[in-house]
Each structure stands twice: as structure tokens, then as C-alpha cells.
Amino acid sequence: MENSKEKIHSVVSQIIFLIALLIIWEITAKAHLFGNSSELVFPPLEKIAEAFVNNFKYGYAGTSFWVYILNSMKLLLLGLVIGILLSILFSSFAIVCKTFHYIYNSIVSICDLLPGIALLPIIIIIFGIKPSVIVFLVIHAVIWPMSRNILDGFQSVPRIYVEAGMNIGLKGFSLLTGVYIPAAFSFIISGLKVSWARAWRGLISAEMIFGIVSCPGIGLYINQMRTNMKNAEMYATLIVIIMIGVIVQYGILAPIEKYTVKSWGMTK
């Protein structure tokens, strides 16, 4: 009963905050605080809503807005899958080999501090401007925080769990899948949430900095709207980015967490 009340309170609070934010936006837009530039800085909500519809209806220069979204999601998904698999592979090997653990731990500590955008000029010089560069940046955004969380999770597994697994004959890969991964799953989910957020931001940033015409993404679309002074369409695109983030966060990651670590009693 208390849990349901807390959920209702959470939803109502968020709705009230969102409504208040929209009201403040509309008042600011109508007040023309920035003079002739007011409509560019704060377009009225009705113009943003109209632009939202027009984005999907007309797209840009004959290219559907759905093409931009699908291209971004394709590159993001490819980078996410590769980054997650590599982080699990390297982190798992770090448990088996102590020497590799020391080396990989140092690599993670160093590379996790490097923003992908800072590496972009070097990557472009080496590989040129192509979709694979964006995939590389997504992998970079995913692999290090994911590896850090997995390594921390493996380190936090109680020794008694490991010894119990070894006593029943588990070793190597079977010990990893039978003890380490289940015991550290809350860390893995946490790493997945952080990695997804960083990958999504990195993808949009990279597409905005150098848009690939052969594979146009959402970031390029924002830049095209900015170049053509279509600020309402630009704000509408930002809303789409937020919506995609919310769908992934609460429609995919939250259910995974709910039916795994929460149902197992590993987190509240």
C-alpha cells in the first residue's frame, strides 16, 4: 500500500513539474524578453508542436525524419552490442588472469577519462569520415564505464560464494557464469544504464560535429535545422531525443532491472 502511494506521489510530482515548466516556457515566449530574437530563442509551444508534426511529415530535403532516427539507432545499437560484448569478455578474462587484470584496470582508468569527442579529430585523420567512426565512438563510450562496473561487481562478490562454486566443481567459464555474473548482475545493470546514456549523448554529439550525408542521423538533422534557422523544428527534435531516451530507460532498462536484480532481492 505504501509502495503504491509512493509511486503515485512520484508520478504526480513529475507531472506537476512538467506542467509548470511548460507554463514558464510559454510565459517567457509570450513576454518577448529577447526582443526580435525571442521567437528564435523561445518559440511558442504551439509552434514547437507544429514543428514536431512537420518533422515526421516532411523531413528535410526529401529525406524522411524516420530515416534520420533509424540511421542513428542502427549505429547506436551496433556500437552498444560490440561495446557490451567486449567489456564482458575483457572483464571476464581479467578475473581469470591477474596480470591482465592489473593491465586492463589501468587501461579502463585511463580511457574512461577521455571524452570520445576529444578523440574525434584523431579518428577522422586515421579512418576518414564514415559511419564506422561513429560506431567506434559509441563503443568507446560504452566499453569503459561498463568494464568499470563489471570489474567492481566481480571484486564485490563474497569469497564464500566463489569457494562454494568451486566446491561443487565449477571452474573457469562455468565459475564465471555460475557465480560471478549472477552475483555481480546489479553492477552490470548499473553499468548498462550509464553506458547507454553516455553512448546516446556521444552519438548525437558526433553526428552534430560531422554529419555523414550518406548516413544522416538525428544530430545532423539538428544541425540542418539550426543552419536554416528553423529553431522550432530544432527544439522539436530535442524532444524526440528525450523521448527516445525515456523509452529506452523506462521501457527497456527498467523492466530488465525489475525482473532480474529487483525480483532477486539484490536491490530495492
Q: What is the pLDDT of residue 2?
A: 54
For 8, the domain range is: 1-42
DSSP track, 146-195: HHHHHHHHHHHS-HHHHHHHHHTT--THHHIIIIIHHHTHHHHHHHHHHH
Q: Model-level pTM?
A: 0.85
Here the cell at position 239 is: 524532444
Q: Are residues 151 and 24 in the same domain?
A: no
Q: Are residues 103 and 223 in the same domain?
A: yes
Q: What is the pLDDT of residue 244?
A: 92
pLDDT in tens, 129-167: 788 888 988 999 999 999 999 999 888 888 888 888 888
CB 150 within 8 A of CB 104: no
Q: What is the pLDDT of residue 144?
A: 94
Residue 260's SS3 state is helix
Q: What is the pLDDT of residue 40?
A: 79
Let me know if residue 53 belongs to a domain. no
Here the CATH number for the domain that contains residue 211 is 1.10.3720.10
Q: How buried is 182 (Cβ within 10 angstroms: 0-12 exposed, 13-18 middle, 19+ buried)?
A: middle
Q: Are residues 183 and 139 in the same domain?
A: yes
Let me know if residue 52 belongs to a domain. no
Q: What is the pLDDT of residue 1?
A: 55
* Spans of the chain, pLDDT less than 70: 1-3, 265-268
